[in-house]
Amino acid sequence: MPQSKQCPKCASSMGEGFVLDKTYGGAGVSLWVEGAPVKSFWTGISLGGRARSQIATWRCGRCGFLESYAAGAADDGAEAQKQEARVVLFAAVVLAFVLALVAGVLAARG
């Protein structure tokens, strides 16, 4: 990754930063993920087992042009696969609880 960059649009200097991802649980750095996105009913997009790396983004101080690099060491995706499995398990437990609650209410009505 370059230490300093010149903007390809206006030739001014660019500074390093990152694109922030805000989620329900907090904030993180945007990631590059290997391959095309695959939708998941449980997690929005399935990430299991795919390589990923954090994205560094350079911004021109004059015109705002952004240039991104995913040059860091790629993660093999094993941790994200475990987290995806935890989300699915949690959703299944909540669904089972709701079904048990509904069944109890219906049984009480007779």
Q: Which one, 11 or 100, has the nearer CB to Zn ion?
A: 11
H helices of the chain, in order, are 78-109
CB atoms within 10 A of CB 83: 13
Contact 66/58 with Cβ under 8 angstroms?
yes
CB of 16 to Zn ion, least distance (A): 15
56-85: contacts with Zn ion (CB under 5 A): 60, 62-63, 65
Least separation in angstroms between CB 52 and Zn ion:
29
CA pair distance 49, 38, nearest whole angstrom: 12
Of residues 31 and 60, the one with the C-beta less far from Zn ion:
60
How far is C-alpha 70 from the geometric centre of its chain's CA atoms?
A: 14
Nearer to Zn ion, 50 or 59 (CB): 59
Smallest gap, in angstroms, from Cβ of residue 10 to Zn ion? 3
Cα torsion 7, 12, 15, 17 to 10°: value is: -50
Q: How far is the CB of 72 from Zn ion (least distance, A)?
A: 24
Choice from 2, 9, 42, 103 touching Zn ion (CB under 5 A) = 9
